[in-house]
Structures are given as structure tokens and as C-alpha cells.
Amino acid sequence: MTMVVQWVRSLIFMITIYAWMLILGLVFAPYALFAKRGALMACKTYARTTLWLARWMVGIRSEVRGVVPTGEVVVGAKHQSFLDIIVIFDAVPHGKFIMKRELLWTPIIGLYARRLGCIPVNRGKKGAAVAKMVKDVAKEFNEPGQLVIYPQGTRVAPGVHKPYKVGTAILYEGLGFTCIPVATNAGVFWPRTGVLRKPGLAIVDFLDPIEPGVARNEFLGRLEEVIEMRSDALMREVGFDPDGIH
């Protein structure tokens, strides 16, 4: 019975946050069209209210650990669910995401992604996509911000292994920025699929920076090691065994 109640609460929560996204998107649209500040204000408002609703409606508390970057950096983040996107965006002053190009044509999301300075990538053209991504990012960074990229390229369920792609290393190398690895256990409570949201403490942890100048292969190895080890530790902290998934 308890699980049924939680599922119903989860369904109401999901309907609420997507309806709220539509309402906020429409209300702020005139402001966002003429000022990037309007887009940032709308998205920050959405992130903060969604985190509050998650705590109140389904019992998901969120916690940010580590030193949150405020300057121009590449944030290489573990991606398990929509929740870690929201927590990271709420934490950093001006987050810009590497995102799949198809999202640009999504109502509301596409408008705000463009105004925030998010960088679209065509996944179907690997080499060309990475080269264009570096060029587009360099152009976009006329304005300061924290560039968030997911090294595995997609959401990965807790305990599932997926290799890290070279795009993050190429960005780090091409831009000459410090990289901040980020670990999370958010997918334990807010899974990548399904409706059910489980109560508990979702953590996003900003780890020690990797300074510019590390060779590509060494950088990618270090990035994967620190993110995976810390994410596994965060999952164990809340009672989830990542080694139990096969």
C-alpha cells in the first residue's frame, strides 16, 4: 500500500513540475526573448521550486557538497537523471549545457536553452560534432559561465557501467579551462525511466579540480576514476549497492 501511495504522489509530482515548466516558460518568454537575464531567472526559479516540490511531494531532499565553481570551467558530471541537471543548474551561477541538437526544437526548452547559451551537438556525426562543439563553445564563452558536459553522453542508471567518451577531453584540451568533476547518486531516487520517485537524500558532489595541461588520455582516465569512485560511494552512503547491478 505504501508503494502505491508513493507512486501516486510521484505521478502528481511529475504532472505538477511539467505543468509548472510550461507556465513559467510562457510567463517569462517575453522577458527571455529580449534579455538573457530573463531566461536565467526563469530557469533558476524553475530549478529551485522543483527541488522544493520534490522534497515536499515525494520526500527527495537534495544536498550539494564540495566547492561550487563560479568562474569559467568545464564541469564533467555524472548523469543519472533529470534531478542531477536541476541540482547542478541551481548550484552554479550560470550553467550552460552540452545538449543533443533535437532539444532545440522542443517547445519552451529550446527557447531557453538558446538564451542560456547551451551548445547543441549532432550525435550522428561524431568527429565533425566534436570539432564543431569546441568551435561553438569558444564563441559562446564571450560571456562567462560554467559549461556542463556529461562524459558518458547520456543518463546512466545507478550501478550500470558505460564508457566515458573523448568529447569532454577534447573540450578540456581545446578550451584550456579547469575541469570540475561532479559525482552524484540522484538516480537512486529519481530514476531515468518510470514514474516512481523514492524518498531519500540525493547528493551532488563537486570534486577536486583537474587543472589545465593534463594529457588527453590521462585526463580522461582521471576523470572517470574520480567520478565513478565517488558516485559509487555516494550510492552506498544511502544504502544502494552499485556492485549488485549486473
Beta strands 200-206 and 179-184, pairing class: antiparallel
The amino acid present at 200, given as its one-letter code, is G
> Strand, coil or helix: what is 184?
strand
Q: Please name which of 175, 160, 164 lies closest in space to residue 223, comparing C-alpha atoms.
A: 164
pTM (two decimals): 0.92
Each domain of the chain, given as residue ranges in start order, spans: 61-244
What is the predicted pLDDT for the residue at 180? 98
Tell me the C-alpha distance between 153 and 164, whole Å. Answer: 8
Q: What is the pLDDT of residues 207-222, one digit of tens each?
A: 999 999 999 999 999 9
Report how far residue 238's alpha carbon sits from residue 246's, in angstroms, rounded to the nearest whole number.
19
Residues 38-75 have pLDDT tens digits of 999 999 999 999 999 999 999 999 999 999 999 999 99
Helices 126-140 and 167-175 cross at an angle (nearest 10°) of 40
pLDDT of residue 246: 47
Strand ranges in the chain using DSSP code E only, listed in sequence order: 60-66, 73-77, 95-100, 119-121, 146-149, 179-184, 200-206
CA atoms within 13 A on the CB side of 229: 8
**9 Cβ partners below 8 Å, 6+ apart?**
57, 58, 197
Spatial separation of the C-alpha atoms in residues 98 and 141, rounded to whole Å: 13
Strand partners for 182: 77, 206
Average pLDDT of each block of 10 consecutive residues along the chain (246 residues)? 91 97 93 90 96 98 97 95 97 91 77 85 61 64 81 93 91 91 98 95 98 95 97 97 76
Q: Look up residue 84 and give its amino acid.
A: D
pLDDT computed for residue 136 by the predictor: 63
Cell of 192: 531515468
For 132, 135, 137, 168, 218, the CA distances from 175, given in Å and listed in that order, are: 13, 9, 8, 11, 17
Tracing cell 578550451 back to the chain, one arrives at 175
